[in-house]
Structure 1
Amino acid sequence: MHILLVGAGLSGAVIGRKLAEAGHTCRIIDARDHIGGNCYTERDAESGVMVHVYGPHIFHTDDEEVWRYVNDFTQFMPYQNRVKSTTQGAVYSLPVNLLTINQFFDKTMNPAEAKDFIADQADTSITDPQTFEEQALRFVGRDLYEAFFKGYTEKQWGCSPTELPASILKRLPVRFNYDDNYFFHKFQGMPREGYTPMIEAILDHPNITVELSTLFTPDMAANADHIFWSGALDGYFDYRLGRLGYRTLDFERFTYDGDYQGCAVMNYGDRDVPFTRITEHKHFAPWENHEGSVCYREFSRSAEPEDIPYYPIRLVEEKALLEEYISLAEETPAVTFVGRLGTYRYLDMDVTIREALDTADMFLGTVEQGGMMPAFVKSPR
């Protein structure tokens, strides 16, 4: 079959590779002038630092099959994300752990004492937290909430934490030991030469052609037996019902002769600091040595039509519009919507790859049985 995949990021590359290996002809197009989507990496010509052009991407997963998959296409090096936060005039370790708690409250508590202490800080009058703020106050108390979560969240999401669902905070752990590894996952690492060569290797198959700087046009559908769309869900329908809401990021790039901050990620929790964090990219590759440094200050804001969308907002208004677009998609034959933009969900890289593999498997099974491929393998609801 002739398959058109719109988007040369992880979703398009992984689906395309699996279908190509099964004998299908895959044409992959991308509006940008490079592959890899937001995972795109390139070396800075002056310093030699590997730069995550659209912000840092750290690979972490408990999915052993996905871990084996990415390692088939590149060499991953050990890497653990250890985040720091500057707030209220001091630097702390994140996620909130025993060191953070003891330093912040000027204590020397052991794990059991810290658990009891934080339990006393918590607002137990909140029995069923509905908002981000209620969850934080119930979980860690007002002092830690205001130092590490409130200002950062207001900057990241552009609204009060009282307007955000409690589920957002449930992803942020508090640890009563000195473990400052940001992620819990069994497999964690960074590709030795960045993500771009990995995606190039995935795309390297005789049944795959890649066309960059190429916009999708409706007439392309006439030459395809099926389309996998990893662009914006509302974009496929030319935004006819309105635009789904996204947050985008602006990066203020600067260089430094030496080590600027001593770590890869420094959050800024104070509301009066306009950026959310500074990332220093050479620290994402600790096996390399560079005198010079490339850093990004990150600013979050609402995405305009010309911006790159990063985080789906998914609040009440967006969810209502999303339902309408889901209905449109389900009425559209021979198109499957995939990935972060296609399903309007925030996805880590490992989940994106897992869903892409599952989508390709479903497609191959559907073709073999003569069935119809659904609009969504993983529902955006």
Structure 2
Amino acid sequence: MDILCVGAGLSGAVTGRALAEAGHRVTVIEARDHVAGNCHTERDPETGVMVHVYGPHIFHTDDPGVWDYVTRFAAFRPYKNRVKTTVGGAVYSLPVNLHTINQFFGRTMRPDEARAFIEEKADTTIADPQSFEEQALRFVGPELYEAFFKGYTEKQWGCSPRDLPAAILKRLPLRFNYDDDYFAHRFQAMPEAGYTAMVAAILDHPGIDVHLATPFTEDHAARADHVIWTGPLDAYFDHRLGRLGYRTLDFERFTARGDWQGCAVMNYGDREVPQTRITEHKHFAPWEVHAGTVCYRETSRACEPGDTPYYPIRLVEEKSMLSDYVALAEGTRGVTFLGRLGTYRYLDMDVTIREALDASETLVSAFEAGAPAPVFPHPPL
């Protein structure tokens, strides 16, 4: 079959590769002038530093199949994500751990003492937290919530934590030891040559034809037997039901000599500080040595037409519109929606790859059987 993959990010590349290996003819079109989507990396010409152009991406997974897949296409080096945050004129470690707790409260508690101490601080009257704020108050109590979560969350999401679902905070750990590793996954690493080189290797197959700087048109779809859509779900339908809400990021690049902040990621939890964080990209490749450094100040805002969408908002209004788009899509034939944008969900890279691999198996089986391909191998709702 002639398969059209719209988007050369992880979802499009992994699915396109699997379909090409199954004997199908795959065309990948990408509106940008590079592959790898938002995990695109490139060498900064001024400093030589490998820059994560759309913000940092740290690969982490407990899925050995996904790990085997990515290491098939790239050499990875171990990397631990250790995040710091500046709050109230002091620097602390994230996620909140025993060091953070002792430093913040000026104590020297042991793990069991800290656990009991935080439980006293927590609002135990909240039996079933519904909002981000309720989850935080039940989780760590008012002082840690105000310092480390409230201001940062308001800047990141542009709304009160009372309006955000509790599930957003449930992803973040609270540790009663001195472990400051942001992730707890078995495999944590960075591709030595960057993510763009990895994705280019995935797409390097004689059955795949890649076209960059090529926005999707109906003519592309007309020439294909089936379309794999990894762009925004609402964009496929020309936003006829309205625009799904996203947050986007603005980046202010600056360079310096030496080491600017001593870590890869420095968050800023105070509400009055406009940026959410500063990232120093030489620290994402600690095996490299550079005399200069390149940093990015990040600020978050509502995504407007023409902006790069980053985080789906998925509040009540957006979920209602999403339901309508899902119903519209399920009445469509000849297209499969995949990935973060195609299913309007926040997905880590490893989950994106796993879902693309699983969807590819389903698609190959459907094509071989002459059965209808699924519209959503992984339902958005």
Under a length normalisation based on structure 2, what TM-score does the superposition of the two structures give? 0.99
Alignment of 1:44-55 (within 5 A): 44-55=44-55
Residue 298 of structure 2 is matched in structure 1 by 298
The one-letter code sitting in structure 2 at the alignment partner of 1:358 is: D
Residue 12 of structure 1 is matched in structure 2 by 12
Offset, 1:50:
0.3
CA contact (8 A) 2:363 2:374 kept: no
For these two proteins, the number of residue pairs brought into alignment is 381
How far apart in 2 are the matches of 1:130 and 1:311? Answer: 20
Residue 282 of structure 1 is matched in structure 2 by 282
Offset, 1:47:
1.1
Residue 267 of structure 1 is matched in structure 2 by 267
How far apart in 1 are the matches of 2:208 and 2:33? Answer: 17
How far apart in 2 are the matches of 1:40 and 1:263? Answer: 21
The one-letter code sitting in structure 1 at the alignment partner of 2:344 is: Y
- CA offsets, 1:307-365, max 9 Å, x none? 00000000000000000100111011010000000000001000010011111100111
How far apart in 2 are the matches of 1:246 and 1:3? Answer: 29
1:200 match: secondary structure: helix
How far apart in 2 are the matches of 1:144 and 1:243? Answer: 35
Which runs of 5 or more residues in structure 2 are unaligned?
Answer: none
- CA offsets, 1:165-193, max 9 Å, x none? 11111011110000000001100000001
Alignment of 1:123-138 (within 5 A): 123-138=123-138
The one-letter code sitting in structure 1 at the alignment partner of 2:20 is: A
The yes-or-no answer on 1:201 pairing with 2:194 is no
How far apart in 2 are the matches of 1:22 and 1:165? Answer: 41
Residue 176 of structure 2 is matched in structure 1 by 176
How far apart in 2 are the matches of 1:137 and 1:85? Answer: 20
Residue 338 of structure 2 is matched in structure 1 by 338
The yes-or-no answer on 1:78 pairing with 2:78 is yes
CA contact (8 A) 2:265 2:277 kept: yes
2:324 match: secondary structure: helix
The one-letter code sitting in structure 2 at the alignment partner of 1:215 is: P
The yes-or-no answer on 1:254 pairing with 2:254 is yes
How far apart in 2 are the matches of 1:332 and 1:253? Answer: 43
Offset, 1:369:
1.6
- CA offsets, 1:210-257, max 9 Å, x none? 001111111222211100000000000000010000000000110011
Q: CA RMSD in A?
A: 0.6
The one-letter code sitting in structure 2 at the alignment partner of 1:118 is: I
How far apart in 2 are the matches of 1:215 and 1:327? Answer: 25
The yes-or-no answer on 1:325 pairing with 2:325 is yes
Which runs of 5 or more residues in structure 1 are unaligned?
Answer: none
Residue 244 of structure 1 is matched in structure 2 by 244
How far apart in 2 are the matches of 1:66 and 1:128? Answer: 34
The one-letter code sitting in structure 1 at the alignment partner of 2:40 is: Y
2:376 match: secondary structure: coil
The one-letter code sitting in structure 2 at the alignment partner of 1:247 is: R
How far apart in 2 are the matches of 1:45 and 1:309? Answer: 26
The one-letter code sitting in structure 1 at the alignment partner of 2:355 is: E
How far apart in 1 are the matches of 2:334 and 2:355? Answer: 18
The one-letter code sitting in structure 2 at the alignment partner of 1:246 is: Y
How far apart in 1 are the matches of 2:127 and 2:9? Answer: 42
Offset, 1:367:
1.3
1:336 match: secondary structure: strand
